Structure 1
Amino acid sequence: MSPVTCRAARALLAWPQQQLASAANIGLSTVKSFEGGNTLPRRTSLDAMQRALEAAGVTFTNGGEPGVKLRKAGS
């Protein structure tokens, strides 16, 4: 997950940064710093953010065109 895909995932969910921080059980400053491209958080924090977004319905796509999308309800 990159800062850009993290911001895009939050936008799909209409989550403010604080909601992601709470869902991932990490500090708000970690989310802000990562999304701003200022620091790379510890792997555990990065994984926690991605898991929280995925649990809320986001799918991260890979390959030549990385991105994010929302899963269909019930998927």
Structure 2
Amino acid sequence: MITGPQCRAGRALVEITRAKLASRSGINESVIEKFERMIEEPASDAVSALEQALEELGAVFIAENGGGIGVRLKFTDSEARRIARMEGEGGIVANDRVP
């Protein structure tokens, strides 16, 4: 389940207003604002509706994984193909980790 700040960040990433998110999710705009500002925690079904609406628009929510929670945009099919092509261009295979 997402947090208020994740909702706000996801909304910013997919470039949608609270009013449009309210329309898409069926959740009142004032409930979304209070959730994003961490004033009130809505019912879990309301949070799920917000999360689903944002995911349909392209947001991907990242659960706690030791590095913290987050949100990012999905790759489009075109972007995924370009990444796969770049990864398969050859060269020496090496560890990408930065020390």
TM-score using structure 2 length: 0.71
**Identity level (%):** 32
Paired with 1:2 and 1:42, the residues of 2 have a C-alpha distance of 12
Unmatched runs of 5 consecutive residues or more in structure 2 = 81-99
2:20 is equivalent to residue 10 of structure 1? no
User: Which residue number corresponds to residue 66 of structure 1?
Assistant: 69
Q: Give the total of aligned pairs.
A: 75
Structure with higher Rg: it is 2
Match for 1:54: what amino acid? Answer: E
Paired with 1:66 and 1:37, the residues of 2 have a C-alpha distance of 16
Unmatched runs of 5 consecutive residues or more in structure 1 = none
Match for 2:74: what amino acid? Answer: R
Moved >3 Å (runs of 4+): none
* Displacement after TM superposition at 1:3 (Å): 1.0
Deviation per CA, 1:4-33: give whole Å up to 9, x if none.
Answer: 111110010111111111111111111011
Q: Report which structure shows greater RCO (CA 8 Å, sep ≥6).
A: 1
CA RMSD after TM alignment: 1.2
Paired with 2:6 and 2:18, the residues of 1 have a C-alpha distance of 13
List aligned pairs for 1:1-75, cutoff 5 A.
1-62=2-63, 63-64=65-66, 65-74=68-77
Paired with 1:36 and 1:27, the residues of 2 have a C-alpha distance of 15
